[in-house]
Structure 1
């Protein structure tokens, strides 16, 4: 397990490349988001995703959300109409997990067999860089049921040396989990209140 420091304002290309190499090969990484530290695996690498479940001691019956780099990337894995796209563009990047109808290319182990998927584009340069080639898991880097880590140190204390690499960019600004909103229904339904609630409510009125 490696720990590397990456500048969140201007991520170093060679360090981002190192993380991408690990994820391409089916490894796992701890990384910062705009809320808490997350645990990444390439969603198209089955063993890597199962490793994330095992590290977190998470039931395979519980789906995991994914992180992508751009709104255009969401279209590759989920369906939504122009109205929903308008909402998405107003709130992303930001501290939101959007529930959408998944496309068939999304592995069912990510969604636990559901036809829906949770998608994030965090307001954080590092996670957008390491998800630019493929979607990554964006579950918090902790044992299920424990508090979500706000720093790389807290994530390391939770998961020990099980992740292949830990990115340290200092404490996360948010510190609480993302707001989860179901955009497959009209009007949208907030499933979990977290960061950014006021902005979200203004956008979905």
Structure 2
């Protein structure tokens, strides 16, 4: 397993490409977000996603959210009606996981067979660059039930040498998990309170 340090504000192009290549080949890696450190796999690589579940000791009955690079990219994995898109435009990038109707091209191994998908666009240039080519998993880099890691070192201790790479950009800025909001219902329903709650409440109420 490689541990590479990366510039948090101006990530080195060659290191981003190194990360993408690992994911192209079906590997896994730990990466920073605007909340906690996440565990990435290419969502279209079934074995890689299975490895994410195995590392986390996570039940496959529980879906895993995905990270995409920009709002337009959400439309490759989920349906966005105009009203929901207005909300999305106001809060992303940011510390939110949005539950949306999934598109049929999204593999069932990501959504646990449901018709919904959780989507993130973190306010973090590193993970947005890594997910530019294809969506990646964005589940916290810890064993299920444990506290999410706030640093690359914490993730390394938690997952040992199982990921192919750990990208270290220093401690996460908030250290609080994302707020999860279901946008498939009207009014939207908050499923988990986390970072950015006040801003979200001011928009959806």
**Normalised by the size of structure 2, how large is the TM-score?**
0.99
1:162 paired with 2:162, answer: yes
Instruction: Report 1:42-53 matches (<5 A).
Output: 42-53=42-53
Distance 1:183 1:46 in 2: 27
Partner of residue 116, structure 1: 116
Partner of residue 202, structure 2: 202
**Which SS does the other structure have where 2:47 is aligned?**
helix
Partner of residue 35, structure 1: 35
1:147 paired with 2:150, answer: no
Question: What does the per-residue CA deviation read over 1:126-160, in whole Å, with 9 as the maximum and x for residues that have no partner?
Answer: 00000000000000000000000000000000000
Q: How much has 1:176 moved relative to structure 2?
A: 1.2
Partner of residue 20, structure 1: 20
**Runs of 4 or more off by more than 6 Å in structure 1?**
none
Partner of residue 58, structure 2: 58
Partner of residue 68, structure 1: 68
Question: What does the per-residue CA deviation read over 1:57-85, in whole Å, with 9 as the maximum and x for residues that have no partner?
Answer: 00000000000000000001101211100
Q: Unaligned stretches of 5+ in structure 2? A: none
Q: How much has 1:8 moved relative to structure 2?
A: 1.2
Q: How much has 1:96 moved relative to structure 2?
A: 0.1
Question: What does the per-residue CA deviation read over 1:71-119, in whole Å, with 9 as the maximum and x for residues that have no partner?
Answer: 0000011012111000001000000000000000000010000000000
Q: Unaligned stretches of 5+ in structure 1? A: none
Partner of residue 96, structure 1: 96
Distance 2:26 2:8 in 1: 24
1:82 paired with 2:82, answer: yes
Distance 1:155 1:77 in 2: 28
Distance 1:45 1:53 in 2: 13
Partner of residue 171, structure 1: 171
**Which SS does the other structure have where 1:100 is aligned?**
strand
Distance 1:76 1:67 in 2: 12
Partner of residue 189, structure 2: 189
